[in-house]
Chains A and B, each alone.
Chain A
Amino acid sequence: MKLITTYYLIFIFLCAGYSSRSQDTLKSYFDEGKALEDAGALTDAYIFYERIAFEANDPLLVNMALMSKAAVLKRKGEYLKAQRSLERLNYAVLNDSMHFHARYETALCAYLSANYYDAISQFEQLNFYLHDSNLIIQTIPLQVLVYNEIQNWKHAKELLLIYKSNTRLSVAESLATDELISFYNKKHIPKLKKVKTAQWMSAFLPGAGQIYAGNIGEGLLNFTFTFASLGIAGIAFYYKYFFTGYFAGLALFQKFYFGSNKRVEYLVNKRNYLNTRAFNDEVKKQLIIILNK
């Protein structure tokens, strides 16, 4: 009997090293991660959370770790990594409110990392999987920002109207929302210029494309140079300097005429970008004021 006891004791000692890390220990890791965050060691903190996600067996715990990691990455301004972290969540084990929170955060990180269509995909999945309209309504301000960025201002305005009619707003909030909706009018919504139109205009009247793109001075200068080179060619031909007229005058004309085609494309794109930015930034500013009221 003594011998058996002894062998049991030895067996217990030998096996002690193989005990695995318990799930309770993993839970306590969150406190450690939080402490690292508080100490400002953000990289160590998100690595810590990833470790929990890596070691945990409980999918809920994995999700919690990935969400904590994403929050730290967001705090660090690494939005794309935060988005990728949230895309690894297991939605099957999340309740509706967590599901909403996870998708909203993913969409927000996608918006912040300029992956607008990824953000839209998250909104569409929210609409598909969750049927709680109160939750969906909360995503509208973010949706407005995303649709603004992809220049679908019509849909952004429709969303704002839905937001206003389905949300209990204070008088001040309601007035500010009305003001924002009224901002989506023909006067303010950027009128996107078309590159093709500008190029056609420049083809018929040199410099007109630049003026259409909003660069009046450059358009007038291009008009002057193009016709001056044509004038040089004309004068040269008149005085029977045929080669000079053809090669010097017309070559210059050709350079100014066709060169402006590329230039006009750049100017139109630049103008569209600046106009879009100005409008979207203003909406963002007003939206933040409404949400902070």
Chain B
Amino acid sequence: MSWFFLVIFGFLFSQISFAQNELDSNSHEEMAFINHWISIEEYSDAIYLIDHYKKENLPLFLRDSLNYLKGWSYYHLKELDSSLTYLDQVSPASAMYHKSSFFSAFNESYLGRPSRGLDKLSNSFCDSSYFSLRNFEMSGMHLLERDTISFLALAKDFNASHYQFAKEEKNLMEYYQQLNEFKDKSMFVAGMLSAIMPGSGKVYAGRLGDGISSFLITSSIAFVALENIRKDGLIDPKSIFFTGLFGVFYVGNIWGSVFSVQMQREEFNNEINHNILFDLHIPLRRIFF
């Protein structure tokens, strides 16, 4: 009789185990299959598959895997907002948690929201092995925010001991120097200079070529207007036309000089931001691939 119970118990145990194994095996196969689509660089199809995967009563590790794979596919499709939405849902229990949280924070920075990236990195769980990377990424995000005090506080720990981002640490320090050395020009001064001598405001803003060209065009029209006024008087239609044309170019040049200061500032900031983002991205690709 006891043998009978033993067989029944064995049967029931094996069925439970079988069901569990089948679930694990099927889900592993599915994850491997979705990964396969990513490896053949067909990301939209990977997302399609994930969207059609049965999501009811999924264990946490599976939900994490699906969220990670979906976020990663969107990252490759350069749909960063969607990417971070899914990467954020990966739980700390997942093996992909750190990769997801670092890339999510980077995506935020890339989308022009470094403060959110900082929040994510400072509030998320971080294993001690990633402390240096987090410190580096956060320092770059502070620099994107132009918060140089916080940047310096973190940059104190830069020691070039991690080959994955030693060079990038040095680069961030250089960008910090460049930001410090950048002299912000006054829009008012640029406008005044151009009012006194056309084009000089643009030269002041750092656009020598634009300044010379503006000077030549405006002064040429001024000479033409003067010549017509001298020969035919101020009331002559030609004089009125060329004087009016000079007025338009003169005022336009002052206006342009004011904006050239702003443009110069934006160009400088964009270039620095682009370089910082590039240097924040490279270590992530090195470490998480």
Contacts and interface: CB of A to CB of B under 8 A. Distances in A.
B266 interface: no
B18 A243 contact: no
Given A13-B14, A43-B48, A6 B7 contact: yes
B259 to A, nearest CB: 24
Nearest to B19: A17
| Chain A contact residues, majority secondary structure | helix
A241 B231 contact: yes
A241 B14 contact: no
B227 A242 contact: yes
Contacts of A18: 21, 25
Interface string A1-17: 01100100110011011
A47 interface: yes
Nearest to A16: B18
B189 interface: no
A193 B40 CA distance: 42
A197 interface: no
Interface in A245-264: 246-248, 251
Interface residues of A, number: 28
Interface residues on B, range: 20 to 34
Interface string A37-65: 00000010001001100110000000000
Given A17-B17, A17-B22, A9 B227 contact: no
A1 to B, nearest CB: 11
Interface stretch (B57-65, B92-100, B203-211, B218-226): B218-226
A73 B85 CA distance: 30
B31 to A, nearest CB: 12
A47 B48 contact: yes
7 contacts: A6-B3, A16-B14, A17-B14, A17-B25, A18-B21, A47-B45, A54-B33
Interface of B: 3, 6-7, 10-11, 13-15, 17-19, 21-22, 25, 29, 32-33, 36-37, 40, 42, 45, 48-49, 220-221, 223-224, 226-228, 231, 238, 242
